[in-house]
Amino acid sequence: MSETPDTLVEDAAAVRSERFVEVKLDESIPNNVDLSSDKQLLRALETWHPQYLEWWKDMGPEGFQNAEVYLRTAVGVDPSGWAKFGHVKMPDYRWGILLAPKVEGRTIPCGRHKGEPAWQEVPGEYRSLLRRLIVVQGDTEPASVEQQRHLGATAPSLYDMRNLFQVNVEEGRHLWAMVYLLVKYFGKDGREEAQALLERRSGQQDNPRILGAFNERTPDWLSFFMFTYFTDRDGKMQLAALAESGFDPLSRSCRFMLTEEAHHLFVGETGVGRTVEATCAAMNKAGIKDPFATERIRALGVVDLPLLQRKANFHMSVTRDLFGSEISSNGAEAFSSGLKGRFNEANLKGDDHQLADAFYTVTRVVDGRFVDEQVPALRSINSRLLDDYIADCQGGIDRWNKAIEKAGIDFKITQPHKGFNRKIGEFKGHRISPDGRLLSEAEWAAGAGQWLPNDADMDFIGSLMKPCHDKGRYASWIAPPRMGINNQPGDFEYVKID
Ligand code: BYC
Ligand code: FE
Ligand code: FE
């Protein structure tokens, strides 16, 4: 039988729908993974959904569940137009399951299976490692929402409040992204892990979140901005590494999550930047040149720059711990198995992507001195991602410094030594100053209050945390943004508080 034009047309349509899977928004769970055709999966997710909403109402933003918030909702995966904006109550947000389009013929980019077709199903021999990576990633998402849940009450403006809630609903969607993978690909134990993701609680003694930084408090807005600049950037790096996964559904999930992540980093960078701007403007207006004139600066209702540095030191150090031990056999196995690549793996030129004979320089403490050691590259995968992260942090810091310099103030925000205040990895158990000196316990105790936020700092920041909920107004310590969200005017009502 010869092919009729009709079947050709149908085939073409099938190819199209494979590549540009439409997002089905009218289903109970918006998705582009054809949920309705997999009844068992749909049922499992529909069972999880009300429990997720319970969690959101218990642990999500406190006090604003009925407020109408001007939110961006993902409605597609086309980079040129994937979101729409509108006022919604957060519990009505359309959390969906969205994967970046499939790349036809994609192969495993690294490790011992390099060049083989990417896995569309879970590779049996790596099942538990893969599940662990997905669970750890998933756990951080609701943890951050829990950490930030009290911040609405002290928002410095409606604009900032909206940005907080935007970040929160998207971290909620990131949880959905990981839960989809667990439930679809890991059967019963995947469903149990999905359940446990709603049960652990940030900072709780008996059932804490998995990674250290996600059990720290985010008590004020300065912490929030530092967190979204530094800790969401760990999210960016880890998602980028998982986007290189040979397990294609994980890669596609992470690729789309990265699209949303950019806004979280923007909130952090501009949040700190606007704080710097308000401080410099107030100092100049009052004729204060000395950034260390703490009391006079604080009396202006702005944050002194050395305090910003201490805050940054804290968030950088706890976030660096999130990369795991610099030298790690788990890290080596994640790479060799092809489950997790390096940052930008597919574009690393002049590299065999297997690293069997390669070395990487890792700084270690040996006999009370720093030593740069050549370590097998496979075992130092975590170290390399950490170094890439530290480099990635610098851009925004340079932009903050440029604003300080332009204001004519002699101060520079810097990154502390890699070993400063570390609890995980090579530097754990050592006392190291921000400028990279190995210290005695007594020297550390004497210096810590200058390097990390001290009690007086936290009290002062606390005193600034007064809500500013009038349209178009901003708290004294933060400058207005250059532009509104989605080009809205300055007095736009980003959150309609009921
Ligand atoms: N705290 O060999 P090791 C984000 C555990 S952020 C407590 O050193 P490995 C987001 C580790 O689990 C991105 N425990 O390192 C940001 C292991 O336990 P097991 C999150 C820690 O295994 C803002 C043991 O210690 N994504 O998305 O290579 C807002 C020895 O581990 C810590 C990911 O992390 C710690 N800091 O682990 C919202 C990606 N560090 O297995 C969201 C997925 C390590 O022996 N995770 N441990 O019981 C991974 O790729 C890896 O698991 C790690 C490094 C990066 C965590
Ligand atoms: Fe996230
Ligand atoms: Fe994020």
Q: Where are the domains of the chain?
A: 5-496
**C-beta separation of 380 from 326 below 8 A:** yes
**For residue 15, what pLDDT is reported?**
35
Q: In what helix (H) or strand (E) does residue 372 lie, and over which residues does it extend? A: strand 369-376
Query: pLDDT per position in the chain (498 positions), as tens?
Result: 333 333 333 333 333 334 456 788 778 899 999 999 999 999 999 999 999 999 999 999 999 999 999 999 988 888 777 889 999 999 999 999 999 999 999 999 999 999 999 999 999 999 999 999 999 999 999 999 999 999 999 999 999 999 999 999 999 999 999 999 999 999 999 999 999 999 999 999 999 999 999 999 999 999 999 999 999 999 999 999 999 999 999 999 999 999 999 999 999 999 999 999 999 999 999 999 999 999 999 999 999 999 999 999 999 999 999 999 999 999 999 999 999 999 999 899 889 999 999 999 999 999 999 999 999 999 999 999 999 999 999 999 999 999 999 999 999 999 999 999 999 999 999 999 999 999 999 999 999 999 999 999 999 999 999 999 999 999 999 999 999 999 999 999 999 997
**C-beta separation of 100 from 256 below 8 A:** yes
**For residue 21, what pLDDT is reported?**
60
Cα(348) to ligand 2 centroid in Å equals 25
The Cα–Cα gap between 114 and 356 comes to 12
Cα(263) to ligand 3 centroid in Å equals 8
DSSP conformation class of 460? H
Specify the residue with its C-alpha closest to ligand 1, atom 19.
Answer: 330
Which pTM was predicted? 0.94
Residue 314: both structure tokens together: 């804290």
Task: Return the closest-CA partner of residue 150 out of 161, 140, 139.
Answer: 161
Cα(472) to ligand 2 centroid in Å equals 29
Specify the residue with its C-alpha closest to ligand 1, atom 23.
Answer: 232
Cβ neighbourhood burial of 461 (10 Å; 0-12, 13-18, 19+): buried
Helix (H, G, I), strand (E, B) or coil at 433: coil
Instruction: Name, in order, each residue with C-beta under 8 angstroms of 324's C-beta and a sequence gap of 6 or more.
Output: 330, 331, 382, 424, 425
Among all bound ligands, the one having the nearest atom to the CA of 261 is 3
Task: Return the closest-CA partner of residue 40 out of 181, 184, 195, 192.
Answer: 184
**For residue 79, what pLDDT is reported?**
77
Please give the number of the atom of ligand 1 that sits closest to the Cα of 340.
Answer: 50
The Cα–Cα gap between 285 and 297 comes to 11
Dihedral sign of CA atoms 373, 376, 377, 378 in order: negative
Please give the number of the atom of ligand 1 that sits closest to the Cα of 322.
Answer: 36
- CA 304-305-310 angle, to 5 degrees, is 105
Question: 408: phi > 0 → left, psi -120 to 50 → alpha, else beta; which?
Answer: left
**For residue 135, what pLDDT is reported?**
98
Count of Cβ atoms closer than 10 Å to residue 454 Cβ: 14
Dihedral sign of CA atoms 251, 257, 263, 266 in order: negative
The Cα–Cα gap between 288 and 152 comes to 32
Please give the number of the atom of ligand 1 that sits closest to the Cα of 321.
Answer: 36
Helix (H, G, I), strand (E, B) or coil at 492: coil
Which residues' Cβ are closer than 6 Å to ligand 1? 133, 136-137, 140-141, 144, 171, 211-212, 231-232, 234-235, 238, 321-325, 328, 330-331, 340, 382, 424
Rg (CA), the chain: 24
**Among all chains, which residue has been given the structure tokens 């403490």?**
365
SS3 content of the chain, % helix, strand, coil (to 5): 55, 10, 40
The Cα–Cα gap between 160 and 156 comes to 7
Fold (CATH) for 5-496? Ribonucleotide Reductase, subunit A (1.10.620)
User: How far is the CA of 164 from the CAs of 99, 169, 494, in angstroms?
Assistant: 24, 9, 11
Cα(418) to ligand 1 centroid in Å equals 18
Cβ neighbourhood burial of 178 (10 Å; 0-12, 13-18, 19+): buried
Cα(324) to ligand 1 centroid in Å equals 5
Specify the residue with its C-alpha closest to ligand 1, atom 4.
Answer: 235
The Cα–Cα gap between 398 and 438 comes to 27
Q: What is the DSSP string of 117-172?
A: BPBSS--GGGHHHHHHHHHHHHHHHHHHHHHTTTGGGG-SSHHHHHHHHHHHHHHH
Tally helices (H) and strands (E) across the chain.
Answer: 14, 7
The Cα–Cα gap between 201 and 146 comes to 7
Cα(476) to ligand 1 centroid in Å equals 38
Specify the residue with its C-alpha closest to ligand 1, atom 6.
Answer: 235
Specify the residue with its C-alpha closest to ligand 1, atom 13.
Answer: 235
